[in-house]
Structure 1
């Protein structure tokens, strides 16, 4: 149905023409409930024609233009509460995400900074300024006045100088990206912890909120306001309940059927208002318990740190830095819880606008209320007899047997749900079971359906909301737990549970304000306000959907191929069949034993080796060569003897002689 967006727009414009403000969410919810309540006319499986579209628009506008309507005000309150709850949480999350994004940008700039030279003074100064800017960035830092901002900068500068002096920048730039990020986060936490400690000592802490004081005070103040509203609303609901029950049982002449139906609608509105108050009170109480625990831990850490520091001028950093880190984390958690409490306060302010959005026709001075209080108390038998007659009094038609005439009914007749199955015809494991406090250890923790209201009364008395009495017993049926207002209701449900479960759905379909009040969103998924808002259960923003309709289901063909018989494979990845590979590993292990270092390995030195600390002995080397031999060769030298006149008588030159001289060749000896 792509026409829904057009329908919503036309509904909003139609209300604006009558000077009635209507949000798209409210228009979509009303249009959706009209489509659900008349499924025969507006079948979901077919497209809406022009006549259907106009009919939905006219019915929705007519519904939204009702004056002084308790049921319409209940629907408006439901839409306003859920939307306010989501919007307030999104606002807080958006503010926190904005600051976190700015911090991430600064961290990214710091981490990506590279120095060409370790002695580059200008680059180191710029890097230090970026770190300083990161440390001064908080959720409310942009709201500081100029004087406070300067005080914050002086405190941060003093803390950084003691924790992370400029000389440490040289070693910081050599760290990896992940190590830099962790060190920056730890530095910010320690600096914040130092400022918080100085604030406690009265020596600083400019711009730091005292969450340990403001958070408990805020919780106490808000709890008292909500508690007072709950008490007054309980009294009003009790008055309505007494008057309606009295009118059904005693039938006073001055009370008409219209008045009873009006009181039922007003009671449903007040119970919805009370339910939201109780939900807020539960959330605030949960935050209060957590804040109390965090506050005690925060003050305890401050006391331990004060006793550790005392009057000493210096303390080992390995003792105090973890304390500073813990203090900063506890302070941050207190601020987060305070933000949640502030969200609940904003939601309460939006809810209070619907406290007097219509005219109450019943108050403490009403004559009918005085008559109900002065009426004599009925006995148990009389109450049961009146309860049995309730289906006739309120106009619910019981089935007629063939050949017999049923009792006459008054007012609007409510058809019995189709497909009802008595308990006797249900399988034994699906029949309702009555649980008692003696047989069920977790009896008090059972999650009750319809917020603890009696389903028999809701169906039999046309949407009357009476709280059940667990003392009568809790009935378990179809993995759900039900309580009832009296014995007749309990027995009636045990006889035919499907009748009343389906009957409650039918009543909620005709009275859309009961869908969220009785928490029937599971049975009416298309009318869930969280879904119309485009959120999944109100937990956060999801993919935006067209108002009033489900996202189309994506279907794809998928298949897997599996073997007929699975074969188990036991593969050892370290196994090797190669003998030379095994020999290589053995040599590696033997070589490690020859290393000089024998100290214990650490995480950083594991499977690493430093050349200056590891000594490998030189390997013995030798070669094999062939044996070579040589021969003696005669070398002949010819010269003239006696040219100088020596050894010759009369200086006569003699004749030349030939002398053989032996010369070494190869390895031969002379």
Structure 2
């Protein structure tokens, strides 16, 4: 990161901290810097080197960091980022921690060392005793072999010192230059410490010297036991959360292929729908926690192996020294002193391993504190699970172990896991989680199944949880890879979890990694026939289609305005005629929308026979109306 970018980050961090103070939000400044750098990998914030010309974007960024991330300290998103930052500052720099510890010790002893160097001459017994005392204190504290304030430790160290630095040689020592004094003091520290360790092995001394090999062995077993218990707790929650998320998302086949849709029971939709995203973030936290705990277990195993190797080397060195000094009155300094120095250097490695163990224990304790501060809502998860039991990763993978992936994409190759040497050392993209489901569910971590096959695309290895996920990935692998990068931009806790920082920096100039697809609307002609008519058929007897009939009716009604109503009552009814009614069964009629149709009803035609030319009153009607169903 260039100087301009660093200056921009510093200014943003200052503004974030300034805005946090009135809201009483306390966060480590280094963590705010770490978070800011992660978020600024996303170019969509619109913040570049020119800090002042992008003031509005910076204000929006600061508001997001404070309100959406830092304000809720127990949110799994922010806790995940915190343990990532804490872990990167501690476990990943263990060797540096040893150097810092040694440097701090040297700084604490700097005043004492300068007092030793200030001696320019030794005139009397008091000067001799004072110089010896200062050197003894320095050697004991620098080597970490006991407390020089204790008489036995002091006497033992003094005897060892006098065996390599006689009183007659003190005058020569004080006349040396400062650099020569420093070299000789360092050499004396190693030799005296080696002599004391050898005396301890011979049961002739070693007062105040702890049995480091035994203590380290006990500490390793205790820390490993606690770490494994923590891992069991984490895996129990991981299995529960993964099962709950899987139950919410279902595979659905559509016109374009497969997709994951979120289906929640109606009685839970109102309350649980808002918690699905939280559960996915919680799953990311525990998966990150699991990953870090497994790294600690690996570190413990390495420390254990190294401790055993150091112990073996120390036994060999002690045996060599015993063989060198056995039954000998005088031994050349050039022969035995290097052996004592090597013995001390081996012991110093023991001390380093002890320092690493104490640091691992501290890291474990602090990460447990972070985990306790994360809200874990048992009630929400139990509602989602219902009567279902949580599945372990092994049980989940066993369901799809019998399936085998076959690629029809020439750019994608599938290799069986059995055919890969050192498979467990093989790097899998997205830590072995299903890439397709990660995108479709917007961040759910569903483990892929290597037993179905390792998918190789552009020299990178992928695994999938089902055949449908693999088939969809094969259609456009670049799109899904870009979708994963875009998801990491929106969820910064995934950047270091999936180790995507370098890839995101390489596409920094690409603001839009994924082009949204426009869904095409498909139109089709459809016909529908119901068993029963939706509405009862009705024929309006007063309906007139002829305009002249309407005009005639209008004239009639106009004439009625000037007419007088007259009623006549006869004694007897002149005649009664029966009226015949003809009905027809309901006809199934097709209806087509968006097209013109017309209906022609037959015109009623009746002939009354016998009105003319007959003397009797026997008339009758003849129906001349054409039938409706006439073809």
Structure 1-normalised TM-score? 0.61
Q: Which of 484, 495, 498 lines up with 1:518 in the alignment?
A: 498
Aligned to 1:55: 60
Task: After TM superposition, give the deviation of residue 465 of structure 1 in Å.
Answer: 1.0
> Does structure 2 retain, via aligned residues, the 8 Å contact 1:226–1:281?
yes
- Report how many aligned residue pairs link the two structures: 481
Using a 3 Å threshold, how does the CA distance of structure 1 residues 492 and 526 change in structure 2: closer, same or farther? closer
Task: After TM superposition, give the deviation of residue 91 of structure 1 in Å.
Answer: 6.3
Return the alpha-carbon distance in structure 1 between the equivalents of residues 180 and 420 of structure 2: 55
Return the alpha-carbon distance in structure 1 between the equivalents of residues 8 and 105 of structure 2: 41
Q: 1:537-556 counterparts in 2 under 5 A?
A: none
Using a 3 Å threshold, how does the CA distance of structure 1 residues 374 and 179 change in structure 2: closer, same or farther? closer
Deviations 1:172-193 (A, max 9, x none): 7999999876655443322111
Return the alpha-carbon distance in structure 1 between the equivalents of residues 425 and 439 of structure 2: 26
Aligned to 1:459: 439
Q: Which runs of 5+ in 2 are unaligned?
A: 252-262, 509-631
Q: 1:120-159 counterparts in 2 under 5 A?
A: 122=123, 133-134=134-135, 136-138=137-139, 140=141, 148-159=149-160
Deviations 1:571-593 (A, max 9, x none): xxxxxxxxxxxxxxxxxxxxxxx
Return the alpha-carbon distance in structure 1 between the equivalents of residues 402 and 242 of structure 2: 15
Aligned to 1:15: 20
Return the alpha-carbon distance in structure 2 between the equivalents of residues 149 and 261 of structure 1: 61
Aligned to 2:311: 295
Deviations 1:87-107 (A, max 9, x none): 987665334114345778988
Deviations 1:116-153 (A, max 9, x none): xxxx8639996996577445425846999987444333
Q: 1:227-626 counterparts in 2 under 5 A?
A: 227-249=228-250, 251-253=263-265, 254-256=267-269, 257-302=273-318, 305=321, 314=329, 316-317=331-332, 320-362=336-378, 366-373=382-389, 431-524=411-504
> Does structure 2 retain, via aligned residues, the 8 Å contact 1:148–1:207?
no
Using a 3 Å threshold, how does the CA distance of structure 1 residues 142 and 304 change in structure 2: closer, same or farther? closer
Does residue 75 of the first structure (1) align with residue 81 of the second (2)?
Answer: yes
Using a 3 Å threshold, how does the CA distance of structure 1 residues 504 and 377 change in structure 2: closer, same or farther? closer
Structure 2-normalised TM-score? 0.64
Aligned to 1:223: 224
Task: After TM superposition, give the deviation of residue 237 of structure 1 in Å.
Answer: 0.6
Q: 1:9-48 counterparts in 2 under 5 A?
A: 9-32=14-37, 34-37=39-42, 39=44, 41-42=46-47, 47-48=52-53
Return the alpha-carbon distance in structure 1 between the equivalents of residues 289 and 397 of structure 2: 31
SS of residue paired to 1:163:
coil
Return the alpha-carbon distance in structure 2 between the equivalents of residues 370 and 344 of structure 1: 39
Aligned CA-pair RMSD: 4.5
SS of residue paired to 1:433:
strand
Task: After TM superposition, give the deviation of residue 286 of structure 1 in Å.
Answer: 1.2
SS of residue paired to 2:376:
coil
Return the alpha-carbon distance in structure 2 between the equivalents of residues 125 and 264 of structure 1: 73
Deviations 1:23-46 (A, max 9, x none): 223333444555444616546677
SS of residue paired to 2:138:
coil
Task: After TM superposition, give the deviation of residue 300 of structure 1 in Å.
Answer: 4.3
> Does structure 2 retain, via aligned residues, the 8 Å contact 1:3–1:48?
no
> Does structure 1 retain, via aligned residues, the 8 Å contact 2:240–2:390?
no
Task: After TM superposition, give the deviation of residue 62 of structure 1 in Å.
Answer: 0.9
Range 232-241 or range 104-113, more displaced:
104-113
Using a 3 Å threshold, how does the CA distance of structure 1 residues 125 and 496 change in structure 2: closer, same or farther? farther
Range 203-212 or range 35-44, more displaced:
35-44
Q: Which runs of 5+ in 1 are unaligned?
A: 115-119, 388-421, 529-670
> Does structure 2 retain, via aligned residues, the 8 Å contact 1:435–1:473?
yes
Deviations 1:317-352 (A, max 9, x none): 566544433321111110011112212222222211
Task: After TM superposition, give the deviation of residue 501 of structure 1 in Å.
Answer: 1.5
Task: After TM superposition, give the deviation of residue 316 of structure 1 in Å.
Answer: 3.2
Return the alpha-carbon distance in structure 1 between the equivalents of residues 202 and 189 of structure 2: 20
Aligned to 2:213: 212
Using a 3 Å threshold, how does the CA distance of structure 1 residues 487 and 86 change in structure 2: closer, same or farther? closer
Return the alpha-carbon distance in structure 2 between the equivalents of residues 50 and 197 of structure 1: 68
> Does structure 2 retain, via aligned residues, the 8 Å contact 1:437–1:443?
yes
Task: After TM superposition, give the deviation of residue 212 of structure 1 in Å.
Answer: 1.8
Return the alpha-carbon distance in structure 2 between the equivalents of residues 57 and 142 of structure 1: 50
SS of residue paired to 2:389:
helix
Return the alpha-carbon distance in structure 2 between the equivalents of residues 346 and 335 of structure 1: 17
Return the alpha-carbon distance in structure 2 between the equivalents of residues 104 and 381 of structure 1: 65
Return the alpha-carbon distance in structure 2 between the equivalents of residues 144 and 37 of structure 1: 53
Does residue 163 of the first structure (1) align with residue 179 of the second (2)?
Answer: no
Task: After TM superposition, give the deviation of residue 506 of structure 1 in Å.
Answer: 0.8
Range 269-278 or range 139-148, more displaced:
139-148
Return the alpha-carbon distance in structure 2 between the equivalents of residues 57 and 453 of structure 1: 32
> Does structure 2 retain, via aligned residues, the 8 Å contact 1:456–1:493?
yes
SS of residue paired to 1:371:
coil
Does residue 99 of the first structure (1) align with residue 105 of the second (2)?
Answer: yes
